[in-house]
Amino acid sequence: MNIRDLFRQLRVDFADGGHHHTRPGWVQLRVCPFCRSGNYHLGYNLGAGYFNCWKCGSHSIYDTLKELGASGQEAATFAKTKYREQGQADRVRKGLKEPGGRGPLLPAHREYLRSRGFDPDELAKVWQLEGIGISDRLAWTIYIPITLHSSRVSWTTRTISKRPDIKRYLSASVEEEAVNHKSVLYGGDFCRHSCVVVEGPTDAWAVGPGAVGVFGIDYSVAQVRKLAEIPNRCICFDSEPEAQKRAAELCDALSVFDGVTTNVVLDADDPGSASQREIELLRRAAKLD
């Protein structure tokens, strides 16, 4: 029995390939049983065998199938086998090495995030943010996990210091990451049929689930390939000239693939400094809501 057969048996409404709410390698459920979102936000990844809702995050196979009405034995059997179909595998190295000193966001981290217009609790829940305080290498930074198929594969950090001589982002070295972060889309697990492509994590937080970061304006070929799997792509880099030049180049690189790619230039300098109204208009233009 495959996942579609099980959904039919449970009388669960789902969308498969060709539906405008899906992308290759996913089966989407019309209603998420956890957050009750009813717009095909919950999906099952056929290549990796996991559930993820871009509204409320990842969920175990067992818990999801139980919520959908499967018996305990059916859910346990399927969770054990993790039905998968052929899919492109990412190159995984030996394992992820996360730095020590991580923990819940401290008052200084929370104050920094509030000063940027973010809700610390929401970011910790959705994006799994943690805080690092005293540290030889990463003192007073926000720890930002990078996930692939709901598993942590790399990381970066964002300093909360206002000193101009401190590098804003420090990322995992090649020896510390399981998958090269430049081959991953930050926030990619939340995306299905549409995405907003931004430069970095803070921009993705501002736009919300459905935004994907490429870690700067120098995107990789691997990231282009991943973006090509998403039918509706909205590029939204910073407004300064060099970033817009790279945004135009990314649009050109994606133009040979199926789907629609558009470039949006905000009135604000970047998504992280945009007003809530401008973010709402961006999400609507990108068909995220």
Residue 115 has pLDDT above 80, yes or no: yes
Task: Tell me what pLDDT residue 82 has.
Answer: 64
pLDDT for the residue 88: 45
My answer on whether 192 and 272 are in the same domain is yes
- Domain match, 47 and 132 both: no
| Domain CATH number, residue 135 | 3.90.980.10
- Kindly state the average pLDDT of the residues 120-126: 96
Of 151, 166, 183, which closes a domain? 183
Q: What is the CATH number of the domain that holds 265?
A: 3.40.1360.10
Mean pLDDT to the nearest integer, 69-92 = 71
- Are residues 199 and 145 part of one domain? no
Residue 97 lies in a domain: no
Question: Does 72 share its domain with 141?
Answer: no
Question: Looking at per-residue confidence, does 200 or 4 come out higher?
Answer: 200
Q: Is residue 91 part of a domain?
A: no
For residue 186, the 8-state DSSP code is: B
**The predicted structure's pLDDT at residue 259:** 92
Contact criterion met (CB below 8 Å) for 65 and 74? yes
- Judge whether 213 lies within some domain: yes
CA 59 from chain centre, in angstroms, equals: 15
pLDDT at 168: 92
Please give the C-alpha separations between residue 56 and each of 189, 208, 255, in angstroms, as whole numbers: 11, 12, 32
Q: Is residue 140 part of a domain?
A: yes
pLDDT score at 119:
97
Please tell me the predicted confidence (pLDDT) of residue 162.
Answer: 87
Q: Which of 16-25, 28-37, 277-286 has the lowest mean pLDDT?
A: 16-25
Task: Say if residue 59 is in the same domain as residue 147.
Answer: no
The C-alpha atoms of residue 131 and residue 150 are separated, in whole angstroms, by 20
pLDDT at 226 over 70: yes
Whether residue 209 sits in one domain with residue 171: no
- How many domains, the chain? 3
Q: Please give the average per-residue pLDDT across 145-168, as a whole number.
A: 92
Say whether pLDDT at 235 is over 50: yes
Burial class, 89, CB count within 10 angstroms (exposed 0-12 / middle 13-18 / buried 19+):
exposed
Residue where one domain finishes, among candidates 117, 152, 183: 183
Task: Name the domain boundary from 160, 183, 206.
Answer: 183
pLDDT in tens, 167-225: 999 999 988 999 999 999 999 999 888 999 999 999 999 999 999 999 999 999 889 99
Task: Taking residues 18-39, report their average pLDDT.
Answer: 81
Q: Is residue 157 part of a domain?
A: yes
- In this structure, are 166 and 111 located in the same domain? yes
Whether the CB-CB separation of 208 and 195 falls below 8 Å is answered with no
Q: Give a yes or no: residue 88 inside a domain.
A: no
Residue 93 lies inside a defined structural domain of this protein: no
What is the torsional sign of CA 86, 29, 261, 150? negative
Clarify whether residues 109 and 131 are in a common domain: yes
Using a 10 angstrom Cβ sphere, with 0-12 exposed, 13-18 middle and 19 or more buried, the burial of residue 172 is buried
Q: Check pLDDT > 90 for residue 74.
A: no
Across the chain, mean pLDDT equals 89
Host domain of residue 262:
188-285
110 and 147 both lie in a single domain? yes
Would you say residue 102 has pLDDT above 80?
yes
